[in-house]
Chain A
């Protein structure tokens, strides 16, 4: 009995690695993830021969960027945004117009596009985040509609329904991205970087504050957390990442038109987070990749694809609330429990042996 208590207090001081996310084992593992992902991103860009699948891969990477951003807004801090397409559009049109009308370098135009998305996010976020739950969803929905209508109607600025084409420019100076493969490597690196940044944010005090606001805003405030600052930060991160995704998309496709930035895009971004699993940025990544490839894989039954997509979404929301990531974690935990039982049994056998010896 005394043995049991000492054992458990030791355990409290040096928690088992699998329970402690900051333990040495998982720290090394989590460091290895980033070079591995970079190698994967570059490898995919250089390795995929088929131009079509390479394009789909780039699309998935663009979606990963927007989705991990939305994960911060929705998954971490619990704010439903149905207007991400608008930020996507702000990033895309900034790049499109600056490059074609002002002959700006793509790199600089991209930076401006991201900043502009963040600023608009801030301007919308500060007043809108006083609104709870569904009101925020409606405000962002309305914002998305306003931007979509502006893109169609303000022809002098946006080129109207025909959009902007010929968005080609050097990245910086004379360095240019030409082939699909170039773009795949470039955007792939950004996608890894985006996941990395969100990973860091999540594990910092900012990430904890966001989760606290999501779980109980009253308690978070009582612990000194400024609700408005935290919510606005989370919203602006989502806006900036969507802007980055839009900017990269504009450069990659060289053509933008208002039809891309509709409610369906906002909804599918949210669906990616939910289907992948809103509890983790890895869930968002999985959701983005899966829901980008799924329509391509289901091309043979194209007519039924969206129907299937709707049914999948409905089933995931109703019966798999933790998303695919939740299922993966569940399986991991199950396997862990099995091996844990085995370990304990080994220990008891060892104890028995010792007992026999003494």
Chain B
């Protein structure tokens, strides 16, 4: 087994604040790892680094054996790193189907002139993209919304569309940033089923999530972050019993109360 995502010694500072301090993390190919931790523990920062949206100050990130350093997020995405956002970032004024097809832009297979003249290659490519996009929407269970404007969808549906859009990149690495945030119990179960369904041998998933039931149902391994440090690692059951984790979470929940 090789690691699809391999993060070693990752450090990220914002001014004087150390958001990530020497973090090690790896996701084996074809598996799902969850990343949990209290608010502000650095989870989103890590996702932003791995997707090359954010830069980092020290350490290395390797994806499928290739170093990520120096790439921007568009290049990383074209290499098969897909992500969703904690705060939804759909293209609100476009239809759901068009949202998905944006992720196929780099693999569209036709040039500008061909698009204007609408050569057969263009027509074939558009048909293929539309069909693939529709299949992804069906997989995510939101095919009914295909022709609606994305901004008008209910919240839970938008989350599912974002996952379908990420899958349209045909990724080898999928980063889900709190996909269940703001969802009710039924929607969370539906989401967990979706994440299980998209699991393939060549897709490795890193999911940031608070909901431990969700985590236990989708992830085989869990990494716990607190204040930018990894404080525990293991199966969901192991992590749940871990004294450091209990302390971090109890401390956090006391603060939150």
Contacts and interface: CB of A to CB of B under 8 A. Distances in A.
A216 interface: yes
B183 interface: no
Contact of A211 (B51, B83, B98): B98
Interface stretch (B24-32, B85-93, B212-220, B241-249): B85-93
B80 to A, nearest CB: 9
A12 interface: yes
Given A221-B72, A221-B74, A209 B91 contact: no
A15 B116 contact: no
Interface in B169-220: 169
A20 B95 CA distance: 10
Given A204-B115, A212-B94, A224 B105 contact: yes
B91 A15 contact: no
B224 interface: no
B137 to A, nearest CB: 9
A312 interface: no
B94 A208 contact: yes
Contacts of B91: 211-212, 215-216, 219-220
The A contact surface, by secondary structure, is helix
A223 B166 CA distance: 7
Given A224-B78, A224-B106, A15 B169 contact: no
A65 to B, nearest CB: 15
A268 to B, nearest CB: 25
Nearest to B127: A22
B106 to A, nearest CB: 4
A317 interface: no
Contact of B77 (A204, A208, A209, A224): A224
Interface in B48-94: 51, 53, 72-74, 77-78, 82-83, 85, 89-94
Contacts of B122: 204
Given A200-B118, A205-B115, A215-B91, A222 B73 contact: yes
Interface in B101-140: 101-106, 108, 110, 112, 115-116, 118, 122, 126, 129-130, 138
A42 interface: no
Given A200-B115, A205-B115, A208-B102, A218 B74 contact: no
Contact of A221 (B73, B108, B147, B165): B73
Interface residues of A, number: 35
B143 A12 contact: yes
Interface stretch (A165-173, A225-233, A338-346): A225-233
A216 B90 CA distance: 7
Given A216-B91, A222-B77, A9 B147 contact: no
A197 interface: yes
A279 B90 CA distance: 17
A304 B146 CA distance: 49
Contacts of B78: 224
Nearest to A227: B74
Contacts of A206: 105, 112, 115
A11 interface: yes
Contacts of A22: 130
B102 A212 contact: yes
Interface residues of B, number: 43
B94 A12 contact: no
Nearest to A226: B74
Contacts of A348: none
A224 B94 contact: no
Contacts of A37: none
A76 to B, nearest CB: 11
Contact of A223 (B102, B126, B130, B146): B102
B136 to A, nearest CB: 13
B158 to A, nearest CB: 12
Interface in A1-55: 8-9, 11-13, 15, 19-22
A224 B103 contact: yes
Given A200-B116, A211-B91, A223 B165 contact: yes
Given A212-B94, A215-B94, A221 B105 contact: no
Contacts of B101: 205, 208
A224 B116 contact: no
A201 interface: yes
Interface of A: 8-9, 11-13, 15, 19-22, 197, 200-201, 204-206, 208-209, 211-212, 214-216, 218-227, 233, 279
When A and B form their complex, which 6 residue pairs have the shortest distance between CB atoms, in order from nearest? Answer: A204-B115, A224-B77, A219-B89, A215-B91, A223-B103, A205-B108
Given A209-B105, A224-B169, 13 more contacts: A205-B105, A208-B94, A208-B101, A208-B105, A211-B94, A219-B89, A221-B74, A222-B85, A223-B103, A223-B166, A223-B169, A224-B77, A227-B74
16 contacts: A12-B144, A12-B146, A13-B143, A21-B147, A200-B118, A201-B112, A206-B115, A208-B102, A211-B94, A216-B90, A216-B91, A222-B51, A222-B85, A223-B82, A223-B168, A224-B103
